[in-house]
């Protein structure tokens, strides 16, 4: 095992956003040298890594040259050049999660077909290479309204997903490969984070419940543990574990799921990295998701995944009427509330619904944590300086 304490070991992270920044909190525990590549000169990671490089994550040569400088390469965003990762692996570089895992996940059409092949429960779907193909399928009445449209590539944070209620809803959709998916009436949206290290040790985190913002199609609250029956929670963890085994990923895999009206568990989609649904773990868990990701990719023993205390996470997103230099209004007020910890990501510019930070609320009583979360949501505003 490599000595990660006072060593010259170099970890490379593709992507310099908030997930990378929070991962860097934990590299400091191990005294690991960190290299970060991101296109933005103002990336949140810039203040916290040893070496910051500005460059395009989709550019083959940029990614290969960056990867050659480090011992292990990981990523905090899926939109990276997979051919470059493959090239690095062929040169003997350790890339976790692997290029093969990322290829199956990066394209939502491929991801869904993978579930079908592996017998993983998911909503019925059809993949189309062009928007016109979908339009023709609708003319042939192959789909009933409403259904869900998803772009095969490039979607994140609620972008690239639309509910199609009638023909009009199709007009603004972009061209290109997409999939149509049956709309599932569900009771809850759940998520489970699965950690798997290089040696194949696997652990799952408790099931979390996600409450969504009706307009922005973004998570508003994440509640851990989910307020569901034990047998449903066990089923969700088992499905997540199966998904993890099927992908053979190394690192974290966030598995988002629907709990249907009759308590079936259907996989919606996955992310092979730390995830919004795991932020509560920084304050509420014995081993937070970012430390766990590092343990997994460095092939260290995985930490305990259970929670110490109930946790609710609130996303801080840009106010819909504000754009420009960011100002966090009433942050002092929320910090007076019990069990409240804000995390500000360090993005300079706010835009409507842009993720600018999150707040964790911990409490032995989950109901009380949820109530305080609502107060936090009411008080704090992410606006621009007038």
Q: Is 150 annotated as a binding residue?
A: yes
> Is 108 known as a binding-site position?
yes
Strands 208-212 and 33-38 come out as unpaired
Is 183 part of any known ligand binding site? yes
State the chain's maximal CA–CA distance in angstroms: 65
Is 184 annotated to bind ligand? Answer: yes
Q: Report how far residue 47's alpha carbon sits from residue 317's, in angstroms, rounded to the nearest whole number.
A: 22
- Strand pairing of 178-182 and 349-350? unpaired
| Residue 357 contacts residue 316 (beta carbons within 8 Å) | yes
User: Is there a binding annotation on residue 269?
Assistant: yes
Q: How far apart are CA 274 and CA 252, in angstroms?
A: 6
Give CA–CA dist 200/77, Å, rounded. 23
320 annotated as a binding-site residue: no
DSSP 318-375: --TT--EEEEEETHHHHHTSTTEEEEE---SEE-TT-EEEEEEEEESSHHHHHHHHHH
CA gap 359, 364 in Å, rounded: 17
**Is 189 within any annotated ligand binding site?**
yes
CB atoms within 10 A of CB 149: 20
Query: Residues 33, 290, 274, 351: is their CA dihedral positive or negative?
Result: negative
- Phi/psi region, residue 157 (left: phi>0; alpha: psi -120 to 50; beta: rest), is left
Contacts by 231-236 with C-beta closer than 8 Å and gap 24+?
231/263, 232/207, 232/259, 232/263, 232/265, 233/206, 233/207, 235/263, 235/265, 236/190, 236/192, 236/207, 236/265
Annotated binding-site members:
108, 150, 181-184, 189, 268-269
Annotated binding-site members for ATP:
108, 150, 181-184, 189, 268-269
């Amino acid at each position: 095992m490599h000595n990660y304490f006072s060593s010259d070991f170099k970890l490379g992270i593709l992507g310099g956003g908030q997930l990378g920044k929070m991962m860097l909190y934990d590299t400091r525990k191990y005294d690991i040298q960190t290299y970060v590549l991101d296109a933005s000169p103002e990336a949140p990671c810039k203040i916290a890594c040893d070496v910051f490089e500005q460059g395009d994550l989709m550019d083959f040569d940029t990614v290969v040259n960056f990867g050659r400088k480090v011992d292990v390469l990981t990523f905090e965003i899926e939109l990276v050049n997979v051919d470059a990762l493959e090239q690095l692996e062929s040169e003997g570089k350790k890339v976790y999660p692997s290029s093969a895992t990322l290829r199956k996940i990066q394209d939502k059409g491929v991801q869904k077909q993978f579930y079908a092949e592996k017998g993983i429960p998911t909503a019925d779907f059809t993949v189309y290479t062009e928007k016109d193909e979908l339009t023709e399928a609708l003319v042939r009445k192959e789909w009933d309204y409403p259904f869900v449209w998803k772009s095969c590539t490039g979607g994140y944070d609620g972008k690239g997903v639309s509910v199609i209620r009638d023909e009009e809803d199709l007009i603004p959709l972009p061209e290109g490969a997409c999939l149509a998916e049956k709309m599932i009436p569900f009771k809850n949206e759940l998520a489970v984070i699965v950690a798997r290290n290089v040696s194949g040790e696997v652990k799952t985190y408790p099931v979390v419940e996600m409450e969504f913002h009706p307009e922005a199609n973004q998570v508003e609250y994440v509640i851990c543990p989910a307020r569901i029956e034990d047998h449903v929670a066990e089923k969700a963890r088992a499905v997540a574990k199966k998904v993890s085994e099927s992908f053979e990923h190394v690192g974290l895999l966030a598995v988002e799921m629907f709990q249907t009206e009759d308590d079936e568990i259907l996989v919606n989609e996955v992310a092979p990295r730390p995830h919004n649904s795991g932020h509560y773990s920084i304050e509420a868990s014995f081993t937070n998701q970012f430390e766990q990701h590092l343990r997994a990719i460095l092939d260290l023993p995985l930490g305990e995944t259970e929670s110490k205390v109930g946790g609710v996470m609130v996303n801080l997103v840009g106010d819909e009427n504000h754009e420009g230099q960011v100002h966090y209004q009433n942050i002092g007020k929320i910090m007076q509330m019990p069990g409240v910890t804000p995390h500000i990501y360090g993005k300079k510019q706010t835009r409507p619904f842009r993720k600018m930070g999150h707040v964790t609320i911990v409490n032995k009583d989950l109901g009380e944590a949820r109530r305080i979360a609502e107060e936090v949501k009411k008080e704090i505003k992410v606006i621009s300086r007038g």
